Structure 1
């Protein structure tokens, strides 16, 4: 059988629930809804280490975090892996192209891609201090180079005064065609124009938004600015201690104290999502018009979510659903994946490490033994099946460092610096509004999930466990020796 073309559409900081097909009451995503209607969507997909670098390490290597070595956020650690998604697909006869975000080190590390047209957003580590010339984002980033050529002056995504990690929002300052979301689509379309038609291709269209800055074009802000929006979720276990302390800081991890700024953040985030959806629509329509769609597989996902003021929190790295649950869709044209059950939702617990073995299987490539993830094709054929009973997630995050065990129905959280535990019954409490850690009828279930975490952490260099109990307060660095030794 002819190898299908593979399109991986990756987004940055998109929550698993902020999509029309996922039932969100406010956000409109007609093109992603179409992909879901023509494919299988996974509503229990997670990013086990939910921030940009660690999540992408899982995606590109198929490894779980203790094996790829990135358990938090740390820049300037070289990426040297023997097997990568693009590298294996290249060996399988695919021409491999990435457009957009890579967030690897060095910046122009191609990770096995034949070509990369790069835009990593705003990376502090690649801009300031003793950054080598070739590692400067002003030199290495193709979007910034293109934007300067187009406009005749050096301009930046933060020239409006909104930060790259902030809850502040305002419309894009230039014509829409200059927006980085449009650029990723435009360069992806140009790749389709100049590809070799005799060779199957792997295209990774890697979008920056809806990661801040929340700067969609004005049209998309106008869609939401007059709507009554669902307020953030706040549970019975919350404390406003950190909100009162940090809620006036523009790049706070808590989000804003001012409710009007909360609403503006929601408007900006939703505007970025619908703008992204429309640009993904352009890519899909081009595949149809160029008669490529029927012979292609499309996988859509994100690196992590966004708390968006749920639980008085903002950004990612947390163990809660807004931060760690992500969208995942596998869709296909009529000539490939004939057993795929269209318009089905799968409740199996899945993770970014599963993307690599799934796409390699689609390409007919043997899966390297370094891969920890599972091939999801069995779930596209029978969405009622499961592949794992539980998943261990974590993030080194200073005082907020955390580990968690999630299943199809519930979640156990251990805060590794304080020892605090939480337990949520996701089946009937999907927004984690009630912490049931002290409920007597949950005691045995908590014991079982705690045991899974102890098992996961045995042998880790941090010594989080002695094999019988969890030990709080251990030093917890963002990068393990399994990454730095490569």
Structure 2
């Protein structure tokens, strides 16, 4: 009896893509017809989260299957070495897959392969600038920049339009569309499909920088949203709690308000990126079909985190709220039910064991994430709740959710928040001050104490949460403990 052919794996990541920003998720503005079709061909996870929602820690969870307290990245910090012996790509490589990454990695050192046999790298603007400031050749940390110069001349850059990589300022892309970084990732990924080893299954990681700023999609994508009626961003009855950090004069600030016309442009740039990425993903999926690979390829689409985009007067990411922490996630391919929407709480750390499981490969014992394939097939119960965290604004925002409720604890002040996500998905009403919330708060508080027990920050003492402990974005002594998610 011959062994069944192992499936290929195409893992597609977008950067800073909100979980609600899909047509299939009912978004009132953004148009993503090809991702909507992908969702109809597989299963969409409506309650997928990034447990530590900024680029670097989120990618550590994805690539290792570890919880943040174990991989040690509980906030954002560049230039911290990635020294994980067991990785998603490494496991696929070890089991005979040809493994390729294209696009944004955001690891340190920048050329670290994380188990991939080859990486074609597009580093974000901040890393390229940092390399220059350190006297390093930017070509050592990016493959897109020399690719662009070959086509436009030796002085070409992808940031000479002046738009910052973390601001809400938006404008159309200033070069031919086929030279956009989004097109680069799609075309280089398609080229791998052309030149791959046909005797091996493959893992291809196609990692787009968009819709992360700079908000510079092609003009057609930008302009289609400029005059679109958009609902106002939600502003919670708790939003003034962030007033001490507000700086409306800084377009890179995490907290502030901006004039309506500029917010409209920011949203047009953000949504325009999404529509552009949607079409380039379709280009890549068509390449799969053209080469006869689509039927035996698992396709997983996800993001590293979201973007607040003015919700509650907040911008960017790192926050515990839905705009920042909830992400899109779609799984399609052999053995995956089509047209299904699941409300199971899943996270980036679950992707490594899920893809290994779906490919029929063993999951290493060190992996803490749990495959969500059994629950997708109704063969197991989903997790009961998820713990997330991020250091930001001088404290740690700790949060728990079961997909129906969310509990948030601010380590700097001890503030607690409680949201009913079923009746209030925009988190506009904080239930924590309500007299009837005390029992629910106590339940979540006990769960969080279990998660944080033994942490080096000293967040707990004698079975209670301790306020005001110093925090840092990386742990000196990562741990494997904490309460097990149900």
The residue number in structure 2 matching 1:413 is: 408
- Over 3 Å counting, the alpha-carbon distance change for 1:15 and 1:241 in structure 2 is closer
The residue number in structure 2 matching 1:30 is: 33
Deviations 1:184-208 (A, max 9, x none): 0000010001011111000000000
The residue number in structure 1 matching 2:15 is: 12
Q: Retained in 1: the 8 A contact 2:456–2:477?
A: no
Alignment of 1:51-450 (within 5 A): 51-124=54-127, 127-128=130-131, 131=134, 133=136, 136-239=137-240, 242=243, 245-332=246-333, 336-337=334-335, 340-382=336-378, 386-399=381-394, 401-450=396-445
CA distance in 2, matches of 1:180, 1:467: 51
Q: 242-251 vs 278-287, which deviates more?
A: 242-251
Q: Retained in 1: the 8 A contact 2:110–2:141?
A: yes
CA distance in 1, matches of 2:95, 2:204: 14
Deviating beyond 6 angstroms after TM superposition, the runs of 4 or more aligned structure 1 residues are none
Q: Retained in 2: the 8 A contact 1:92–1:363?
A: no
Tell me, what secondary structure is at the counterpart of 1:11? strand
How far did 1:398 drift?
2.9
Q: Retained in 2: the 8 A contact 1:341–1:382?
A: no
Q: Retained in 2: the 8 A contact 1:157–1:213?
A: no
The alignment status of 1:473 with 2:471, answered yes or no, reads no
Q: Retained in 2: the 8 A contact 1:31–1:278?
A: yes
Q: Retained in 1: the 8 A contact 2:386–2:401?
A: yes
CA distance in 1, matches of 2:461, 2:233: 39
Q: TM-score, normalised by structure 2?
A: 0.95
Task: Identify unmatched segments of 5+ residues in structure 1.
Answer: none
How far did 1:362 drift?
2.0
CA distance in 2, matches of 1:252, 1:12: 19
- Over 3 Å counting, the alpha-carbon distance change for 1:461 and 1:483 in structure 2 is closer
Q: TM-score, normalised by structure 1?
A: 0.95
CA distance in 1, matches of 2:407, 2:34: 35
How far did 1:467 drift?
3.9
How far did 1:329 drift?
0.6
Q: Retained in 2: the 8 A contact 1:68–1:482?
A: no
CA distance in 1, matches of 2:224, 2:159: 23
Q: Calculate the aligned-residue CA RMSD, in Å.
A: 1.7
Q: Retained in 1: the 8 A contact 2:246–2:253?
A: no
Q: How many equivalent residue pairs?
A: 476
Q: Retained in 1: the 8 A contact 2:128–2:142?
A: no
Tell me, what secondary structure is at the counterpart of 1:348? strand
CA distance in 1, matches of 2:115, 2:412: 38
Q: Retained in 1: the 8 A contact 2:149–2:157?
A: no
Tell me, what secondary structure is at the counterpart of 2:23? coil
CA distance in 2, matches of 1:11, 1:22: 16
Q: Retained in 2: the 8 A contact 1:305–1:323?
A: yes
- Over 3 Å counting, the alpha-carbon distance change for 1:477 and 1:129 in structure 2 is farther
CA distance in 2, matches of 1:47, 1:244: 24
Q: Retained in 1: the 8 A contact 2:65–2:348?
A: yes
The residue number in structure 1 matching 2:483 is: none
